[in-house]
């Protein structure tokens, strides 16, 4: 889901009284990305991220690296955006974020690494 669907879901969440919103964005998301093709995707993702930040919802923006179908390891890094990550680990991270209110207001890159998910989330820098 890129910009349009994300914005509609943000609006629906607000109307429904939902106060926590976690979005799967993209590495390189940028509302000002120039060009066609993949740049249009990055622009749409960046615009969705900006709409979420402006929504007033408690948000977390997760920007995974290249997605793979490998089994998850439960170990990630949020320090760099270069690399890949199993879909299983992205899903586990999204679930963990919901249990960690201190991740609200943060955006981070996510790729495979050596740190258990809970530890990686606890080590996210303050904004």
Question: Tens digits of per-residue pLDDT, 29-59?
Answer: 889 899 888 898 999 999 999 999 999 999 9
Sign of the alpha-carbon torsion through 110, 124, 62, 73: positive
For the chain, which domains are there?
3-122 (3.40.50.720)
Q: Is the pLDDT of residue 100 over 80?
A: yes
Buried b (16+ CB within 10 A) or exposed e, 59-75: bbbbbbbeeeeeebbee
What span, in angstroms and rounded, lies between the C-alpha atoms of 81 and 108? Answer: 9
pLDDT, position 1:
63
Residues taking part in catalysis: 41
- pLDDT category at 81 given cuts 50, 70, 90 is low
User: Could you tell me the pTM of the whole model?
Assistant: 0.92
- Does residue 2 surpass a pLDDT of 80? no
């Amino acid at each position: 889901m890129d910009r349009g669907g994300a914005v509609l879901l943000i609006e629906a969440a607000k109307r429904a009284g939902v106060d926590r919103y976690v979005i799967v964005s993209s590495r390189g998301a940028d509302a000002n990305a120039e060009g066609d093709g993949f740049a249009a995707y990055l622009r749409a993702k960046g615009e969705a991220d900006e709409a979420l930040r402006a929504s007033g919802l408690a948000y977390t923006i997760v920007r995974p690296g290249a997605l793979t179908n490998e089994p998850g390891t439960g170990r990630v890094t949020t320090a760099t955006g270069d690399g890949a990550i199993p879909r299983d680990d992205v899903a586990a991270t999204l679930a963990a974020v919901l249990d960690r209110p201190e991740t609200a207001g943060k955006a981070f890159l996510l790729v495979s690494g050596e740190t258990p998910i809970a530890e990686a989330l606890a080590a996210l820098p303050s904004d």
